[in-house]
Each structure stands twice: as C-alpha cells, then as structure tokens.
Amino acid sequence: MVRLKEFKDNTKNVLIQPAPSSSKVYIPLSQHIGKPCAALVKIGEEVTLGQKIANVQAQVYAPIHSSISGKVVDIQNWPHPAIGRCKTIVIENNFKDSPSTIHQPLSSQDQLTSQQIRDIIFEAGIVGMGGAGFPTHIKLNPPKQIDTLIINAAECEPFLTADSSLMVEKTQEILLGIGLTAKCVGAKNVYIAIEDNKPEAIKKFQSVSGLRSAVYEHQPNTKNQKPLNTIVLKSRYPQGSEKQLIKNISGKEIPRNKLPFDLGVVVQNIATVFAIYEAVYLNKPLYERVITVTGSCLTNPKNVLARIGTPIKDLIDFCAPVKEKPAKIIIGGPMMGIAQYTDTVPVIKTTTGIILFNAKEASGQEEDFCIRCGECIRECPVGLMPCLINLASEKQLWEQTKVNGALDCVECGICSYVCPANRNLVQSIKRAKKKLL
Amino acid sequence: MQNKLIVSSSPHIHTRESTRRIMWLVIISLIPAGLSGIYIFGLSALRTIMLGITSALISELLLQILFKRKNTILDGSAFLTGLLLSYNLPANTPFWLPIAGSFFAIAIGKFVFGGLGQNIFNPALAGRAFLVASWPKYMTAFTLPAYAKGWLNYDAITQATPLALIKKGKALIDTTYLDLFLGNKSGCIGEVCILALILGAAFLFLKGYISWHIPFPYIITVGLLAYIFGPKGYFSGDWLSHILSGGLILGAFFMATDYVTSPLTRKGQVFFGIGCGLITIVIRLWGGTSEGVCYSILMMNAAAPIIDRYTKSRIYGTR
C-alpha cells in the first residue's frame, strides 16, 4: 500500500451545501448492479419528489425514484457516467418539490424487524454508494450467520471528502443507521473504519460514548453487545478496498471465490448507512447524495448535496467560476474513477465525486518497456504480479493472464500509479478480465 | 467544451517516478566510486571511463538510427551501461578496449533482445565477459595505484590483484584490511574503493531503489563459504579479504541488483543473491580465474526466469 498525496484540503471541513435544483434532471434506468429498470412513467406524466418512477421484475435490482417534482418530458438514450449511454428519464422541474403522497413518515422505528428494515431499504432504492452499486437489501440479507459488521469510512481515494464531511455533520444520524444495519444482519461486533487523515470524524465517533447505545437502541439484548469500535486506519491507498479492510480488521483473508459473508462479515459504506437512516427515519427514498466537487480548475470546490439526475455541468457551475478549462472530468476518485467524455452526464446513486483536471494534470505519459522493478508486485493489495499479467494481456495470452490471477484484481490502480515506466497495467488487466468473463 | 475532454483508463494520477529518474540517480550514486578510481589510478582511469560512456551512447544512437527505433539515449540506461563497463576495466587499457566492450554491451547485450527491459543478461557484464574472453591479456593487466608509482605515469606497471594472490595461496603481506577498504590495491577502476561504493549504495537504499534482498545474501554467502573453505582446512578462511577484494561489493550492490535481469519478487531475489554467492566462491576457490563475480551474476541472470516461476507472489485468499 502507498501513501498518496491527498489533495483533500480544498474541501476538508467545508460544510455540505445543497446544490440548487436543476431545471431538468436526467435519471438513468441503470444505477446499480443487476437488471436495468423499466420506466413506470410515461412522457407527459406529472411526477412528485420521491415518487418511484422505475422498477423491474428481477432478482437483483433496486427501484429508482424521482429527485424533483415536475413533468416527464422524455425517455431517451443519454450519456451515463459508468456505462457510456443508457436509457434515461428526463424530468422538467416545476420547482415545487411537492412530496410524494405514497411515502408517509414512519413511526416506532425500534419495533421494526430485520425483514421490515430490509423492505424499507429496498423500497427506498438503496445501493452501495461507495461506487459498486450493489443493491443493499440483498447485501443485508446474507445466507449465512453474520457476526461482524464493518462500516467502511476509509475514503482512501485522494480528493474526496464527501464521506468525511458527512461523518462530522451527521454523526448521530449515521449511528442510528449503523444500528439499523447491525440489526438487519444480526452482527455482534460493529467496527467503523476511518483513515487517520480525518481526525475530526475520528474524534466525533470516539467521543460519543453516549451515542454508542444509539447503535444498539433497537436490539433486545443490549447488554450482550460490545460497543461500537472505531478503528483508526493509516492513510494508505487502497485501505478502503473491501478485501483489504477485512484483512486489516479481522486478520482474515476472504478465500478465493468466496464472499465476505462466508467469513461472517458484512462491509457497508458509510454513505449507504446514512441513506438507510434517511429511509427508515425520514421515509425518504434515495434521491440525493453528498458529492465532492473539486479540482484545481475550480475557484470554489465544495461538498454538495446533489439530486440524482443533476447534470454534472450544473454542479460545476455551482462551484464556479472555473479558473481553467478542464481537460479531464473524472467521476469518482482519481485512482478508480471514470473519465467522462461530456459534462452532460448526470449524478447517479454511486457518484462519490467530480474532479476537474487542467491540461497539465490530465496529460498522460508515454509507456516505456517494463524494467521489471517489481514495484507493482510489492504494492498490489491482493498479491498479484501485475507486470506479468500486463505482458500476457498485451500478447493476448488470456489463459496466461488467468493463471497469473487477473480475475483476482480489484482494479484499485495502485500498480499503474507506482509504475516508473508508466505502463497501463490496470487497463490491460481490465481487458483481460473482460475477455475471461 | 464538448468533445475536447481527455478520456483515459484509471488511475488518473501517477507517481513522479520514472525509468529515466531511476537511471540517472543510480548514475549519481556511482560517482563516488568513479572519483575514487580516478584518484587512485590517475587520469588514465578518467580516460577509460569517458571512452566507455561515450562509446556506449554512440553505439545506442547509431543502432537506433540504423534500425529506425525510438531514440532513448537520454533515458540514462546506455550511459549507465557504459559507466559500469568502464568501472569493470583496469585503468590503463588500450583506448579501443572500452569502445569494443561498450559496443558489445549495447549491441549484443541489450539491443538484439529488443532494448531496455528485454535483455536477459546485464549488458555491462556481458561486455566485460566478451572482453575477458577476447583480450585476457589486457583485462588482467592491473595498474598499480597512482600514488605508488607517481602521478600521470602512464606506464602500465602491473601488479597482481589481492584475489590473485589469495588464489595462489599467498598471504596479503603488504595489504591491510584498511587498504582493501579504501582501495589501495590494484584492480578495476570502480571496484577498488569499498568506502565510495558503500556511500553510493547507502544512497540507493535510502531512495528505495535497491533493497537488501540481493546484495546481503550474496555477500554473506561469499563470506561464509570463504571462511568455511579456508586454505588451511575448514573454518580458517580469510573471509574479510574475500569480501573486500575484487568486484564483489560493486557487483552485489550495483550489478546483481539490476532490475531487468534479476528476479521480480523479494523471495526470488534472496535465492538469486545466494546463487551469485555460491558461484562466485566456487570460481574464486576452485575455478580457472581468480575472480568470479562477473560470471556468477551472468549465470544467475540466465536463471532469473526460472527463479521467477517458482517464487511467485501469493494471491490474496489463496494458501
């Protein structure tokens, strides 16, 4: 693992600001792992804030809700931040934010059973908000007994501060969300893992001993429960990778081809936990989230609360004026994020940040031959030999890439980051994975 | 702004490290050894070093122009090859010797394999092996330290190296350990001053460019075996002289550690170091020549791919 330059100072300790709602939002029908949804609304239909507008019949999916009130003006193919293009519902804003009548505020949250909590999570359309987008109601319904819940608050990607500002500003709410999550999976040990570059968040979570009980408020045998453990991790990339986190905290590795629940562990991202709180306590479906909008091109980088479907251009304008024309726009972190070809792509449930690079920062370097320095091997968090997979991939020896463990790659990007020869290691491994799957 | 955004695969940030930077810093780390060689052997050493470097650069340039390859003479690798080759030569060689060696090192040692990163053998050592095989007379005519024969004295007054004396079973009467350490002995330009080499190596350690995994097992193996198989029966060898003499320190820290031709994993590098030590001592004690560092590293270079095969890193979640 590597200590990266953080670039977090611009938005560290900057209060979360709600972004103004856009005149039009573009809500893609695929924002999760699983089957894309189908629209429940027709062009011309009026929708309310939080109304379910897309659904599908499938095992793995999450419903999608409107993030504004207004009129559906189009359902069309539109740029998507992760998959190029996707069928998208376009809604024109009437700026009334009239709430959906379907959602009545809930009472007596502490009486809820695990199944009821999961149902609420499902209805709220919650997915893993750290970037993966796996439907949360499925993750919180593991087929095996769970004893450990790890809340992933590492936020190890440079530039991003959305999670850390959420932790500082919404500590109480997050604790309630953690309690609900722990109850859902029946975990006895709950850990919250935070990198040591977020001292304010660590202080908040460590100091709130009284709040600890909040975590277990709903659980019958509170006395048997161990308190919430705040784990302070060194700021090293990729500390927040699920495999790495489990190894660091439990000392165990997930066996190859197994999943965390096989070890009795569930890892949940901190923003997702906050969304669970909002769904259960405020009866609010997932239609907005906190995003870091930053980069040297911006005069006013911010942590913004943005509606799903907001074109990133509107968020960039909110943080303007732009000092320099951005040469590269990245959605996500700089290590794993995706470079965008247009600024019309909308925010989706898995968007953690928007980073603008100027021409100098965006300029790539030419690849040299591998000099076999072995740096990629030493830094790979899953013990691969990226340089060998890279060579095999370039020769299209797909079987060879498999033998060398291409399918175990978590695509964290650290190999390409450290490579002195600027080799596109991750890119070639991703290519091999695509060929093998 | 449309259609003008750069799209590339993640990651979008990169360390400042580059191949070129590594090469030039290794060259800088070798400067103390070169200066001490010039101090010890006089200006003829400087002449040999300059010839080695210049001809390596020219060889690379000509070959790349001739075969229409990308020009890479500024990446430092050809400079480093020429520098290391000249460090492996006696100071007072005929002028064409470093030229022939550098050309062989670049052309046959590196270029025919496809250039930097593709070569099997350490190019500088390949060049040296070629010279030893072709002109052994010049390659073993070691100059006396300059202050023993007067400055600017270009006459090749030759003297046996400490290792050659050890080989003949003679004790090192006139040479103390301190002489060996500081370089008051005959030998190749860059190998004699152990102090300067250790300074350079320490710099590379601090920079993280080399690790202990090759040099330490290498040197310890040589010392241990030299001690065990002493001339007067087991456990009587002069192990310190073996470590401080010849090209061991130069080879262990600067040549065996060459990224391209050594194993990839730390585990493999330890085996590589031990292998180098074994072969070095076999040649030194029972082989046909008094020095074995060059051949031992070349032989282990050939073994590096097979070491790689058996010392792969362990993938997460597998036992």
> What's the pTM value of the predicted model, to 2 decimals?
0.92
Handedness of CA B129, B131, B133, B136 (dihedral sign): negative
How many of the other CB atoms lie within 10 Å of CB of A342? 17
Bond into B11 cis (ω within 30): yes
The domain in which residue A156 lies consists of: 109-281
Order of strands, edge to edge, in the sheet holding A52-55? A38-39, A52-55, A64-65
* Unique residue bearing structure tokens 């938005």: A11
For residue A420, which residues of chain B lie inside 8 Å, CB to CB?
15, 17-19, 21-22
For residue A422, which residues of chain B lie inside 8 Å, CB to CB?
14, 18
Confidence band, pLDDT 50/70/90 cuts, at residue A74: very high
Contact status, residue B193 vs residue B249, Cβ threshold 8 Å: no
Phi/psi for A329 (5° steps) reads -115, 125
**Nearest residue, CB atoms, A338 vs list B10, B264, B317:** B10
Are the Cβ atoms of A368 and B314 closer than 8 angstroms? no
Confidence band, pLDDT 50/70/90 cuts, at residue A224: very low
Distance from C-alpha of B52 to C-alpha of B192, rounded to nearest angstrom: 18
Question: For helices A270-281 and A171-185, what crossing angle results, to 10°?
Answer: 90
Are the Cβ atoms of A371 and B75 closer than 8 angstroms? no
What is the Cα B121 distance to its own chain's centre? 12
For residue B19, which residues of chain A lie inside 8 Å, CB to CB?
368, 371, 420-421
The domain tally of chain A equals 3
Q: Specify the pairing of strand A46-47 against strand A328-331.
A: unpaired
Confidence band, pLDDT 50/70/90 cuts, at residue A38: very high
Residues A119 and A36 in one domain: no
3 state SS of A318: helix
Cβ-based neighbours of A48, under 8 Å, separated by 6 or more: A66, A69, A98, A99, A100, A101
Residues A84 and A135 in one domain: no
Phi/psi for B210 (5° steps) reads -130, 160
**Nearest residue, CB atoms, A328 vs list B5, B115, B265:** B5
3 state SS of A233: strand
Q: Specify the pairing of strand A148-153 against strand A189-195.
A: parallel
B141 vs A112, B137, B160, CA distance in Å? 91, 6, 8
Q: Is residue A7 included in any domain, yes or no?
A: no
Residues A150 and A273 in one domain: yes
Residues A202 and A228 in one domain: yes
**Nearest residue, CB atoms, A341 vs list B7, B18, B116:** B7
Query: What's the pLDDT at B254?
Result: 97
Residues A163 and A266 in one domain: yes
Confidence band, pLDDT 50/70/90 cuts, at residue A10: confident
DSSP per-residue letters across B95-116? THHHHHHHHHIIIIIIGGGTST
Closest residue in B to A6 (Cα) is B13
Distance from C-alpha of A202 to C-alpha of A114, rounded to nearest angstrom: 29
The DSSP bridge partners found for residue A328 are A357
For residue B18, which residues of chain A lie inside 8 Å, CB to CB?
365, 368, 420-422
For residue A248, which residues of chain B lie inside 8 Å, CB to CB?
none
- The percent helix, strand, coil of chain B (3-state, each to 5) is 60, 0, 40
Distance from C-alpha of B37 to C-alpha of B32, rounded to nearest angstrom: 8
Phi/psi for B246 (5° steps) reads 65, -160
Residues A86 and A155 in one domain: no
Which among A360, A389, A423 is the end of a domain? A360
Model confidence over B216-265: pLDDT tens digits? Answer: 999 999 999 999 998 888 998 889 999 999 999 999 999 999 999 999 99
B202 vs A343, A405, B61, B257, CA distance in Å? 50, 36, 32, 14
Tell which B residues from 220 to 259 touch A, by Cβ distance under 8 Å.
259
Query: Stretch A115-129: mean pLDDT, rounded?
Result: 94
Residues A294 and A231 in one domain: no
Cβ-based neighbours of B46, under 8 Å, separated by 6 or more: B38
Q: Is residue A76 included in any domain, yes or no?
A: yes
Of A140, A286, A280, nearest to A218 by C-alpha is A280
> Which tops the pLDDT comparison, B172 or A248?
A248
Closest residue in B to A420 (Cα) is B18
Residues A149 and A262 in one domain: yes
Q: Specify the pairing of strand A353-357 against strand A288-294.
A: parallel
Residues A136 and A243 in one domain: yes
> Which tops the pLDDT comparison, B287 or B124?
B124
Tokens of A311: 């074109």
Residues A242 and A317 in one domain: no
Residues A52 and A77 in one domain: yes
A11-15, B218-222, B303-307: least confidently modelled range: A11-15
Residues A168 and A23 in one domain: no
